[in-house]
Structures are given as C-alpha cells and as structure tokens.
Structure 1
Amino acid sequence: MVKPVQHDCPFDKRFPSQLVRDDVFYMSLAYNQAIDAWRRDEVPIGCVIERGGEVIASAHNGVESANDPTAHAEMLAITQAASALGDWRLEECTLYVTKEPCPMCSGATLMSRLKRVCYAVPDPKMGCLGGATDLNALPRVNHHLGITAGGVLEDECRVLLQTFFRQKRSPLPPLSSGADAPSAELPEEEE
C-alpha cells in the first residue's frame, strides 16, 4: 500500500472545547477536515454531519486522490451519515462545511432531507444555497433546509482556501499562518 504524500500546511488545527457543542464547535471540526485535505494536496474543504450532539460523519475533499469528480467533502459525509444511520433520510442532521456547497452537493443536501446546512464561506460563483443561486428557494422543491450562511469561522476558512490557491498558482513563498487575510475574493477553483 502506498502511503499518501503529506504536504505542508501553514495552518494549525483547531481544538474546540468539548463542553459547548455549538456551530463554532462543529465548524472547527470541519475546518480540521479541510486541513487534512490540504495535507493530501486536495482542495481544503471539510465537512461534518451532526445529529443529536454527536458527529456521525466527517470528510474532506478527495477528488484528486480518488480521481473522482464527485468525491466532494459533502458527498462523502452524506454517504457516511446515511450508512451510519441505515437511512438515506438525514432529517435530524446538520451538515457543517467550510465553503458553500456547489450545485451537486447542494442538490444532495436537499435530496438527503437534512434539517440544516451551515457553511462558512459563501461562494458567489458556484454556490447553490444562496451564492450564485439558491436551490433551497425553488418553490417546487419538496424539502427545504435551514441555512446558516457565512459568519461561522468564515474568515479562517476563507484565508485557508485563498492561501491554498495562492500557493498553487504562484511561485511565491507561502504565507505564514499569522498572515492577514487577502482582500481579494476567492479565486476560481474546482472544488
């Protein structure tokens, strides 16, 4: 078995208090998944799914390593959660993800009947839960999600994504973890 190559990530994982299980706690776990994605040279997007205060699924992008364009963090986590519950209906679950879901993942959040989606970084180009469009607002959709759009670790997740793509596209040395957030919007990327 070939061990995956570890890539340097200038950011540290977060260690939230176990005493308060709130949006910041779960988004911190999603952020940690994004760090793991970076270390595997994947686009650093992470996701966790919570039900009743317990994490039932966690994943990060795996498109490159799986050579699978559908191996987005949300898709992998939804599949894990359905398997863990033995039911595709995730009605009592909340999905936390570091970037607004793309069209495919937004559709999967609706189809899996999630109770709520909380995303850190809005995506005005490809996001489909309020960014470029809003699938959740379509009048004929037979299920609607609760949405928490941005605000929960938004700055940290944005800087992580921007720094990753800056390093990919530029021969300049990487930013240190304490660097100020770039002022530009997120670069175009392939989730």
Structure 2
Amino acid sequence: MREAIRQAFVAFEAGEVPVGAVVVHQDRIIGRAYNQTELLKDPTAHAEMIAITQAASSVGDWRLTGCTLYVTKEPCAMCAGAIVLARLDRVVFGAYDLKRGGAVSAFQILGDERLNHRPTVVGGVEEEAARTLLVEFFKQRRAGSVLDDGHHPSDGGHN
C-alpha cells in the first residue's frame, strides 16, 4: 500500500486526482500507476486501469488470478468492472468513496453474486494517508491553486 500512496503523491504533484494503484503477484509489483486522466486526456486513465493493463502485460495474460490490487481510494464502478473481468483475487483500498465507490460503498459490484468472479475486498487500509491527499488536492483546487489542466496559476496556467 505504501507504493500505491507514493503513486498517489505523483498524481497530486502532476495536478491529477491523487489516486495510486499497484498490482502485486507473489510479493512482486507487476503493475503500478497513478491517475492520468488529464495528462492523457482519457476518461478511463484511472490508476487501477493502468496498473491492471501493466500487470496483464507483465504476466502475458489478461487473467490476473493470484494477484492483489492495492489502491488508495475505493475503485469506481468502471474500475470495479475491470477488476472483475481481470479476475484479481484481492482488492485492498485506502479511502472509502461513499458517493461513487464501486466496490462496497455506493455500488457493491465486487460482491455482486450475479457476477462470475468476486474478489476478497479489504477497505480502510492506510485510509488517513490516502484521504489526506484527496482532501488537500480538492481544497487546493477549490481555492484555485490547481487549474483543471493540472497546472498551477504561477506557471502561466495552460500550455
């Protein structure tokens, strides 16, 4: 989880929503990422999606059985769907997302008995560290110190 938090900090510094994720297989990180939706201009470039893609490439299979995803915020519905499709065994997340969480909060996708795969889910791990980054990011954004494109007003804003 510490590496996921480091990735979230990279996102924070880049002006992205500070979420980081890592996929681990047999105690080895096989995928790591941070949110890059602004950087890549891609609404699907969430940390979980990128880390899952890297992990699948690393093992040479889209099935990530035997793997654990560590992510700093409860996955959204899109990412929860990808977790199910990738057959991840376990998901460990930091901060709960009561409004949009797709794992256990707003939606319970990862435990839905209608689906063919349901990973073990553990929430609230390193929650304070994960939540602090999110709160600080949105506090700065509301104050106008981080523009929508991730640039700071002091650097001239948009490129």
Tell me if TM exceeds 0.5. Answer: yes
Alpha-carbon distance in 2 for matches of 1:137, 1:72: 21
Which residue is equivalent to 1:153?
126
Among 105, 109, 125, the alignment partner of 2:79 is: 105
Alpha-carbon distance in 2 for matches of 1:76, 1:161: 19
Among 94, 116, 140, the alignment partner of 1:167 is: 140
Aligned to 1:130, the other structure's residue is in SS state coil
Alpha-carbon distance in 1 for matches of 2:3, 2:82: 21
Asked if 1:96 is matched to 2:97, the reply is no
Which residue is equivalent to 1:62?
36
RMSD: 1.0
Aligned partners of 2:111 and 2:119 also within 8 Å: no
Aligned partners of 2:10 and 2:18 also within 8 Å: yes
Aligned to 2:92, the other structure's residue is in SS state strand
Q: TM-score, normalised by structure 2?
A: 0.89
Greater relative contact order structure (CA < 8 Å, 6+ sep): 2
Aligned to 1:114, the other structure's residue is in SS state coil
Which residue is equivalent to 1:40?
14
- Structure 1 or 2: more helix by fraction: 2
How many equivalent residue pairs? 145
Identity, in percent, stands at 48
Alpha-carbon distance in 1 for matches of 2:33, 2:111: 27
Aligned partners of 2:12 and 2:133 also within 8 Å: no
Question: Cα deviations across residues 38-58 of structure 1 (Å, max 9, x unaligned)?
Answer: 111111100001000000110
Question: Cα deviations across residues 103-152 of structure 1 (Å, max 9, x unaligned)?
Answer: 100000010000000000011111011010101222211011000011x1
Gaps of at least 5 residues in structure 2 are 146-159
Gaps of at least 5 residues in structure 1 are 1-26, 173-191
Alpha-carbon distance in 1 for matches of 2:110, 2:8: 25
Which residue is equivalent to 2:157?
none
Which residue is equivalent to 1:138?
112
Asked if 1:71 is matched to 2:65, the reply is no
